[in-house]
Amino acid sequence: MFIPVENSLCSFKGFTLVMPAVAVGNVGQLAVDLIVSTLNMKRVGYVHTDCLIPMAGNNPYTICRDDAEELHTPAEVYTAPELKLAVLQIRAPIIQTKFKKFRQLIVSWIKSSGFSRTVILSSSHAYQRDDQQLKGMPLRYLVTPSLLKVSEDALKSLGWREMERVPAFPGMTDTNAEPRLCIPGGGFTKGLYSDSCSEDLPLAVLLLFCSEGDNIPDAFTLVNHLNDWLHLLDSPSQEANKWKIPPSWSLLFGSGIPPALF
Amino acid sequence: MATFFGEVLSEFSRAVDDDEEDQEENEEDEQIRRELEEKREVHLHWSSEVTELLQSGNKLQCSDFILAVGHNAARFLSVYALASSNWEAVGHASLWNERSRAVTGPTSEESACVFHRHKETPSVLICQVICYVAEDQLFQWTEKVFDCLQHRELNVTVLSDGSVADYKTANYPCTSSAPFLRSLHTDAFRGQPVSPSLEQPNIITGLPAAVLNHCQVHGIATVVYQCYSDVIGPDSVSMETYKPALTKLRKSIQLDSSRSTDVLRKFVKTTDIQSNLYI
């Protein structure tokens, strides 16, 4: 499933993997676009699978005419070796009947590549927050026991809130049902997190409550929070304009207005 | 979603469905799921000669594979290439999905996705696809077809119909600019496409995208020409737009560029009445 680009020697041992979930507002994917674009990351391979809807386009991170005509596929891996960072970008929805298979592929790829930790950037429907979740920052995190061992202090000092468990049957007090994890609109986030717990993988989820719309500010918020933890950019997160918007973000809401309309 | 007139349009939403809870699947559920998967499988049917070749562990010798996706692209090839007697049908692909019309006989199924081979240059293959290939069948179609072809020095050209409504540009495309071609090619493609490259932030989807993905990953020289048209349904002007794409192909295909527009018009069927309330 992972096919390296020709002539690229890539070992991911000890790298941090950042990947998005295809979730509400595409916030994770937008955030990953910012990372790849800003850090000028190099493509090192493709994730070629029947689990994603096919799409193709020219280089979304093009900076000059020379690299504009470079074909890009629905799932690709980029690296910044100096930061020991690898990024998987997913550009297409997962086929409805293939969620489980895709999660299995990702988990086995993570294991075989030897990533030291994985961070999933995700989002969840803001309108389904409960009373607790309506208060405070819309950022939540989750971490597998395996990663908690090494990152507990760092996460504590960041002051983030862990994703709350919600009652299985809201409003019904007379049940013995345990509160459970629920990430509405999060795509495969919950599934992949649960799989990683079972497989003892060091994995964290960083998600933002948001709604569909112009999700660019949400992407910036999420990537800045990630930067607070991983320090991908030298400058502090207050300088939000340090993230470079890729050319593929133009015309997100359609073409220019037809003059004949007026 | 279904429109007021009963057409079924595929709507894409950024809002995503949750991953289903991992339900305990009983045997009956699993069987239903398996049967549905089998029903949606793509099947390739080759002539006996080709079947024998493939069964003996060989692949089809292929130097040029031309794929036409959509009515305009398929009709264009029918007129400019396949009208001569130099081509023989060597196979077809069959598949079923929610948009497949009720098949009244084997011919409808057979004509939806046909492979033709040039008699004098058997390494040249043409395929016309006019049926809808569902999202979960695209990868399978591509893998199965390319599994039959030898990949060394293979050149793939894809002609694909598209709608100008899907083309994004800062300057709203005026009607006089359509139809027009835009191209995408794999890294292995050498040479110059005959049309401008597809600009950001446009992407292509469907069978041409599946072919590009496969060929990019496997290092096969491939170019896709997407024709953006402002007419729904086949039209001769859009068909003619593909002409420059074929000039780059080997002379041995002997394309009949003397065909006039009148011949193209003959192939244009009137659009179905039920999908056009206003004539």
- Comparing CB atoms, the residue among B168, B200, B213 nearest residue A54 is B213
A187–B22 C-beta distance less than 8 A = no
- Comparing CB atoms, the residue among A56, A69, A256 nearest residue B203 is A56
Reported in sequence order, the residue ranges of B133-278 that DSSP labels E, i.e. its strands, are: 155-163, 180-185, 203-205, 221-229
B34 touches chain A (CB under 8 A): no
pLDDT band, very low/low/confident/very high, at B272 (cuts 50, 70, 90): very low
pLDDT tens track for B20-31: 555 556 788 888
- Comparing CB atoms, the residue among A73, A186, A212 nearest residue B18 is A186
Mean residue pLDDT of chain B comes to 82
ipTM (interface pTM): 0.91
Mutation pick from A7, A37, A55 vs chain B, by most beta carbons of B within 10 Å, is A55
Predicted confidence pLDDT, tens digits, chain A (262 residues): 899 998 776 789 999 999 999 999 999 999 999 999 999 999 999 999 999 999 999 999 988 878 889 999 999 999 999 999 999 999 999 998 899 999 999 999 999 999 999 999 999 999 988 888 888 899 999 999 999 988 888 888 899 999 988 877 777 766 667 788 989 999 999 999 999 999 999 999 999 999 999 999 999 999 999 999 999 887 555 555 589 999 999 988 888 777 777 7
Q: How many CB pairs under 8 A join A and B?
A: 134
Give the separation between CA B259 and CA B246, rounded to whole angstroms: 14
B166 touches chain A (CB under 8 A): no
The CA distance from A250 to the nearest CA of chain B, in Å, is 6
Picking from B122, B118, B123, B119, the residue whose alpha carbon sits closest to that of residue B63 is B123
B14–A248 C-beta distance less than 8 A = no
DSSP state of A212: S
Contacts of B189 (CB under 8 A, 6+ apart): B221, B222, B223
- Comparing CB atoms, the residue among B167, B172, B213 nearest residue A56 is B213
The answer, yes or no, to whether residue B258 has pLDDT greater than 80, is no
A93–B204 C-beta distance less than 8 A = no
Phi, psi of A167 (to 5 degrees): -65, 145
Is B101 within 8 Å of B157 (Cβ atoms)? no
